[in-house]
A and B are shown apart, each in its own frame.
Chain A
Amino acid sequence: MSGHSTYQPKTGIERWLDARLPIVRLMHDSAVSYPVPRNLNLLWTFGGILVFMLVAQIITGVILAMHYTPNATMAFNSVEHIMRDVNFGWLLRYLHSNGASMFFVAVYIHIFRGLYYGSYKAPREVLWILGVIIFLLMMATAFMGYVLPWGQMSFWGATVITNLFSALPVIGETIVTFLWGGYSVDNPTLNRFFSLHFLLPFMIAGVVVLHIWALHHVGQNNPTGVEVKDVKKDTVPFTPYATIKDLFGMVCFMLVFAWFVFYQPNFMGHADNYIPANPASTPAHIVPEWYFLPFYAILRAIPDKLGGVIAMGGAIVILAFLPWIDTSKVKSMTYRPIARQFFWMFVLVCIGLGYLGAMPADEPYVTLSRILTVMYFGYFVALALIGIFERPAQLPTSIADSVLGGSGARLAHATASEPQAKG
């Protein structure tokens, strides 16, 4: 959808550079003249918000790493040293720990937006799969980051989660020993998790580049799910239209982020993680961070350990196959009366699983977890079947039509006078 470049080098230096490394042209084409559907709503700002969160996490994380000590006897106190003695260390650390939570808030909204508007469908399958890979990398990064303060939940969370791999046949125990760097969670585990926690965000950044590349190649989906037919009528240039909208959405998101950082910095954490790790004392109630709770509930819903691990992994991996599972040609749930109801049910199921993941493995929670786990996977079965018989509502003929209610002629005339490249 990028079309040919509209970049015009203005100065001599720009012309000289453009002939050798057209980097300014690349930036101009992808962030200024890049055409975006004119009907995007605020849910489309979460991609930009996620880029902001990744950069914010890397910046705060790199500075925290300057003061943190990855050693089992010193890690806990080095975090307290950051909180007490480093200038604005409390701010960096709360930004980073709450930033992880806000990163997941944003990514879940981003994923559900994609699910609702059918953003996974052709031609965006690769874009979607790259997103699933980013999500998996984020989960690994967040999990290892949570281990670093070496509190009770860090230690016991790491023990429970790494132990899951031992359920795999043949290679399971080798993998666990490899993750631990020994025969239990200990100093070598902390060291390798720190190293990987530093590495993975840059791998995420790499996949994000591919994600954006794929996005800019196929173009953005939009609330109607109708593809762009006429770039002049259906789209607006990224700058200033999307730029200002993304910026507004981002600052609103930062308001929520700041509320937690400054006023409720420990709301999303667990009190037990302020107790230093103690291998001899198991906490009464081991729970992962909130963003893993739905998957934790699925894990515990299956009575068999290997079965639970497969179900939990499957709950994420199945997303990657969604483009081929969903049989409907219509993208946006707005025009899918039956699938839409299943979608909202699916949202409630995910929230319900999150709640159950935080509850003790006790009745009635176990039975409820099993019912909701079946419903979780049931959504994908439903999408495969609904597409066959569902009669979608009348789609608008074009994005411009959906915005202007059919008076496309007036629109075409008006946009023709609009300069394509602003800023």
Chain B
Amino acid sequence: MRWKLALVLMMMAVFAFVVAACDGEEAADEAPAVAQAEMTPEPMTSRLATVQERGHVICASRNDVPGYGSLDANGRNVGFDIDLCRAVAAAVLGDSEAIEIVLITAAERGPTIQSGEVDVLVRTVTWTTSRDAQWGNYIHTTFYDGQGFMVSKDLGVNSAYELSGASVCVTSGTTTELNMSDFFRQNNLDYNPIVFEDTDVVLDAYQEGQCDVFTNDRSQLAALRSALPNPGDHVILPETISEEPLGPVVPHGDEQWFDLVKTVIAGIIYAEAYGVNSGNVAAMAAGDNVKVKRLLGTEGSFGQEDLGLKDTFMQDVINSVGNYGEIYNRNLGPEGIDLPREGGRNALWANAPCTDCPKGGQIYAPPLR
């Protein structure tokens, strides 16, 4: 039986050799991968090139909150967040309809943008420092919000500090959920949290009275209340318990795409400040205001070539989607869910050309040059 022993030994030798070879290969595979990640932060193909080749922009968003993201009577995606996505599509592809909306729950937002499977995340995402570090790059605050509580009027509650013993419904995976926990804990109020994945179910549970209180960003509460059968029966309590700056997010690791989306958002705010809207783009482009002509690409440049866009991309954006004010009015303002804007934080800081006569708002774009 010596040959058996020999066979075993031989097989072991072959096996060891193969394993060593595999290890060597793995090490060889691994080394460049790590080096790549450390040395060149940009991926091999830029996201811009990928989007242009694909022919549409993929945005992660929602369709369950009127004003931000919902479906109109024709089944078309509409809303403030959706319009920001359309603006990016118009800038990159010249077509605001070239979008694909991926519907995700609040809790899916982090993993979705981390994985880079979507180009832009625009789903009422609150900007927080840890999300900015872990999820992706925050572009700009496009809406300033704060968290509030909605209760049924007949409970006679006048303040959030009277909510002891209440059952509170909230959507999971949101800053709202964490702020609620902090608020009740800090004020030593007993409460019973009920956490749902979908905003629709939260609304059902609130409407049927399983929970006494619905907590969310105030503007979303207002939007959802407007869709209830008797909006007058519900009251949003005066306390705002948190800061919720909302804005789009892009995946980490592609500086060009980050800058591009940032410029598009700056452009629509700039356009409002300088009075450029979807009705007067051509006239303004031919006019004599240098800043406006720079915005519309008829004179000078503010770095379009570095972003890989044509000079006149903002004309496409404003022609098809409008400036910030038009997007606001259409979705959140008088034509949408009617949130007041003037005098609030979401008004412009100032109207050009008078950049030093403040209107008091916080919506502001960096200079384009």
Q: Do A and B come from one complex?
A: no
